[in-house]
Structure 1
Amino acid sequence: MSRWEPNARGRLEQAALALYGERGYERVTVAEIAARAGLTERTFFRHYADKREVLFDGTNRLQQTLTGAVADAPADQTPIELVRTALTAVGELFEAGERREPARQRQAVIDKNPELQERELVKLARLGTALTDALHGHGVPAPAASLAAQVGIAVFRVTFPRWLDDPHRRPFPDLIRAGFDELRAMTC
């Protein structure tokens, strides 16, 4: 193998998702992922701490997108409008680069493994905390910031599977807006 391989991270992700789908998360080793990607285990560990982290690699980017969107939002938005703005920005991130199919594969792996489901819940809790902090930093009082962030995470959790399975392949931001419209209709 050559010393430098282009797109090693993407190749490792593709290899891991394929192997997890074929054999199940528990039965796949890091060595097998690296071999499928045409890379070494050392290269794998340069990019990921363990085989689980391949599935959760984008968490920091999601958090930065959420918090950045809140920070950049107009000061006159309500807490729920701020959360909708942040989740719409995340949706735009999902739409960039055709992430729907890898996200579908990733979710199928997580749905079959309780350990990974727990890790997904931890990720969502951290995103909720970061969103709460961003809202608070934007001037939203603490109780309202927490409530708005948790509502936003709930809308995200309902919207994400809709996006994965949408036969019309509607963009994630459109589905987020529809989710908030449904929420508004239920609470008015």
Structure 2
Amino acid sequence: MVRWQPGTRERLQAVALQLFTSEGYDATTVARIAAEAEVTERTFFRHFADKPEVLFAGQEGFLGMFSDAVRAAPDGTAPFALVRLALEGSVGFFPEERRAWSRARQVVIDATPALGERELGKLATLTTRLGELLRERGVAEPTATMAAETAVTVFHLSFAQWIAPDEARPFRTLVHERLDALTAMVQSAG
């Protein structure tokens, strides 16, 4: 058994996703993932803390893309402009080559309640982090919380559309489409 090869982390993720899809998440063991990836279980645990982490790795980078864009904005940037910047910062995390992985990952998450809860927790963490960041920038309540919730809602709707079976448009296009729809809705309220 080969103990180290370049790309081991990515290979473990690919093998795990294939096994989760074909055999089910609960039926797939870490030992099986490691064996199929031709590494030891110890190697698996060098890359991932546990089995769910195969699907949720990289959360700090994910959160950072939203928050880095907000931190880089000039002082005095309006809250909705900060929402736009946060969402624009996220588009780099979802290039076209990631779409098939994201679609398959979501099928596994949707079929496993505990993973669905973890996914919702990830979005809640993003909402909390953005709200804190907006308050640090001087955005008052309730605006800071509403802006954070809005950013996460627009992200979630955009992502759901991006992974839809027949969707081919870039993630950026979907984010802008939803932001424009939100803007139009608010402006039409008078």
Q: Residue in 2 aligned with 1:22?
A: 22
* Contact 2:161–2:167 (CA under 8 A) maintained in structure 1: no
Q: What percent identity do the matched residue pairs reach?
A: 46
Cα drift, residue 147 of structure 1: 0.8
Q: Residue in 2 aligned with 1:122?
A: 121
* Contact 1:163–1:170 (CA under 8 A) maintained in structure 2: yes
In the TM superposition, structure 1's runs of 4+ consecutive aligned residues that sit over 3 Å from their partners are: none
* Contact 1:89–1:173 (CA under 8 A) maintained in structure 2: no
Tell me the distance in 2 between the aligned counterparts of 1:26 and 1:66. 32
1:51 partnered with 2:42: no
- Please tell me the residue identity of whatever aligns with 1:185: A
Range moving further from structure 2, 64-73 or 135-144: 135-144
- Where does the alignment leave 5 or more consecutive residues of structure 2 unmatched? none
1:140 partnered with 2:139: yes
Alpha-carbon displacement from aligned partner over 1:31-75 (angstroms, at most 9, x marks no partner): 111111111100111111111111111211111111111001233
RMSD across aligned C-alpha pairs, in angstroms? 1.5
The total of aligned residue pairs comes to: 187
Higher RCO, Cα 8 Å, sep 6+: 1
Cα drift, residue 168 of structure 1: 5.2
- How is 1:4-153 mapped onto 2 (pairs within 5 angstroms)? 4-95=4-95, 98-153=97-152
Tell me the distance in 1 between the aligned counterparts of 2:119 and 2:105. 11
- Please tell me the residue identity of whatever aligns with 2:161: R
Tell me the distance in 1 between the aligned counterparts of 2:123 and 2:168. 24
Secondary structure of 2:97 counterpart: coil
Structure 2 length normalisation: TM-score?
0.92
Tell me the distance in 2 between the aligned counterparts of 1:111 and 1:39. 28
- Where does the alignment leave 5 or more consecutive residues of structure 1 unmatched? none
Tell me the distance in 2 between the aligned counterparts of 1:8 and 1:44. 9
* Contact 2:4–2:39 (CA under 8 A) maintained in structure 1: no
Structure 1 length normalisation: TM-score?
0.93
* Contact 2:162–2:168 (CA under 8 A) maintained in structure 1: yes
